[in-house]
Homo-oligomer: A and B are copies of this chain.
């Protein structure tokens, strides 16, 4: 006799549970035992779906990275002046972050102890560089302050955007929605909080 639920998981729904556990306990601190308990199915049932916890991590961070890199191919990111493109990418990054909150949260907490984690960190850096390049292009076109340090500005911009995973909680029917937050980020980063002179 067993208390385990019947395995009605797909790789996709199993991923939802795994990401929740990874975010709660940390990837390093999560064992197959923890995943098995959280999913309510046996470890062998999990192995039926995936090769192990690293595969679940790879699928999860891939989902976050695909969302982020997808932005860079959208029309708003490839046409127009660099300043418009970087504003578009910033706005969409906030939207993707909110839409894929648990997945991006996991991506941002990855530490680099395994090959998959190091790959995820490398891809994250690549995304940051793409945005830094856009900021640099906007500066070259004279639309960003000439005295702004682009590397530092990129870090501050992502510091602000990525902080959402710490405090943003969706409130259905009330509170800030993703679009409002995205607009606030863009307004603060590019125009500042001060009243226009």
Taking beta carbons and an 8 Å cutoff, which residues of A are in contact with B? 29, 83, 135, 142-146, 148-149, 152-153, 155-164, 166-167, 176, 180-181, 184-185, 187-197
Q: Is the interface of A mostly helix, strand, loop or mixed?
A: helix
Question: Contacts of A158 on B, CB cut-off 8 Å?
Answer: 163
Query: Is there contact, CB below 8 Å, between A193 and B159?
Result: no
Query: Is there contact, CB below 8 Å, between A193 and B153?
Result: yes
Question: Contacts of A190 on B, CB cut-off 8 Å?
Answer: 192-194
Query: Is there contact, CB below 8 Å, between A145 and B194?
Result: yes
Which chain B residue shows the least CB distance to A146? B195
Q: Smallest Cβ distance from A189 to chain B, in angstroms? A: 6
Question: Contacts of A197 on B, CB cut-off 8 Å?
Answer: 196
